[in-house]
Structure 1
Amino acid sequence: MNQLIKEYKNSLEKVRLAKKRVQIKETEEQKEQYRLLCSMERDLLWSIQWMETGRRPGNKRGVERLAAYQQEISFDPIWIQNYAYTSTDGMVGSRITQTDRERIDEALSSLSPLEREVYLMSRGRGISYSEIAMMMSVKKGTVQKMLERAEKNLKCSKKKSV
């Protein structure tokens, strides 16, 4: 990444030098060249800033703070996957401890049976919303709503238990 940033900065210097040479701007062609070079300079600066900060330029916060990403993950996804596979297969895996299993059971007990099933299919087994909808003979939006309710309930039960 550092090499790429160096190359972009090198290009930026070349664009700035070319821009100084075209500063006369008497003819329409020179004006168009100047506008093009200004645009290139803006784009290079924007790209360099994005690469250096890891964030979209102009944003005060990173993408991790946007509303879509603000949802708290109730459990470690690996725990839920191990829980989903070991609880339905009947095989007890060593990946997840008994206390972790009990904590997950306690939290999932706050969900309705349907919400629990949908939650385990989606988060535990990694099944897509549309596949779950087909299996349950409901619309994809219904599955999404059930998951949103389940996540909300899990979040509330987590706050109560802490």
Structure 2
Amino acid sequence: MSVVREADQTNGWLTHIRDLKKSYRGTYWMLRKALKACGEDETHPDYKTLKEMISDVNFAIMWMHTGKRPGNKRGIERRAAYQRDKLMDPLKMQAYVQQHHAGSPANISDDERFRLGEAMRCLSERERECYELAHGHGFPFQYIADMLQISKGSVEQYVRRAQEKISDELRGNLFL
């Protein structure tokens, strides 16, 4: 293993996160020396750029060290279920709404179309309309609100409620 690792390092490849962190720390200290060479003079033309670079490198080092984004209280593995779940593939939703039958890989089968239709059956007319415009056509909430002459908050609430209902329907129905 050490032979491969040494060969990779001679070719310029970093094979382990440990080596990557070491490289970033070396960059961090080079930037600190460059900042010190500026004399900590805020009027120096490179002062602001060096401070930003040091901040960015330090952010990356912390991310590699902790394994999660600095500042987050929880890692992705500890997210709540609603934050991890994806209701369905957006391409399938778009194919369902637009009903294209060309040779696109985004097309869905008749069975998938039926299952999605059954899951959306529980939505009110307004929820379905907002959900299809947001997820099927990809329109932003503000555009949908203007189109339907309702507030953006209402659109967000309709879409959120529709997502919850579809999610419950897909989880609860054994045949979908």
**What is the TM-score with the length of structure 1 in the denominator?**
0.67
Q: Which residue of 2 aligns with 1:84?
A: 97
- Report which structure shows greater RCO (CA 8 Å, sep ≥6): 1
Q: Which residue of 2 aligns with 1:62?
A: 75
Residue 96 of structure 1 and its aligned partner are, at CA, apart by 0.7
CA RMSD of aligned residues (A): 3.8
Q: Tell me how far apart the structure 1 counterparts of residues 81 and 171 of structure 2 sit (CA, whole Å).
A: 21
Q: Which runs of 5+ in 2 are unaligned?
A: 1-12, 34-53
Offset from partner CA, 1:2-43 (integer Å, 9 cap, x none): 5975542213456899xxxxxxxxxxxxxxxxxxxxxxxx96
* Code of the aligned partner of 2:24: Y
Residue 98 of structure 1 and its aligned partner are, at CA, apart by 0.5
3-state DSSP class of the match of 2:93? helix
Candidates 49, 52, 74, aligned match of 2:87: 74
- State whether structure 2 residue 118 is matched by structure 1 residue 109: no
Percent sequence identity is: 35
Q: Tell me how far apart the structure 2 counterparts of residues 104 and 68 of structure 1 sit (CA, whole Å).
A: 21
Q: Tell me how far apart the structure 1 counterparts of residues 143 and 22 of structure 2 sit (CA, whole Å).
A: 46
Residue 70 of structure 1 and its aligned partner are, at CA, apart by 0.7
CA pair 66-132 structure 1, distance change in 2 beyond 3 A = same
Candidates 6, 10, 33, aligned match of 2:26: 10
Residues 141-160 of structure 1: matches in 2 within 5 Å? 141-160=153-172
Matched pairs, number = 138
3-state DSSP class of the match of 1:70? helix
Residue 160 of structure 1 and its aligned partner are, at CA, apart by 1.1
**What is the TM-score with the length of structure 2 in the denominator?**
0.62
- State whether structure 2 residue 127 is matched by structure 1 residue 118: no
CA pair 73-11 structure 1, distance change in 2 beyond 3 A = closer
More moved, 42-51 vs 143-152: 42-51
Offset from partner CA, 1:109-135 (integer Å, 9 cap, x none): 010111111101000100000000000
3-state DSSP class of the match of 2:101? coil
Q: Tell me how far apart the structure 2 counterparts of residues 127 and 68 of structure 1 sit (CA, whole Å).
A: 26
Q: Which runs of 5+ in 1 are unaligned?
A: 18-41
Candidates 112, 117, 121, aligned match of 1:100: 112
Contact 1:107 1:154 in 2 (8 A): yes
More helix by share: 1
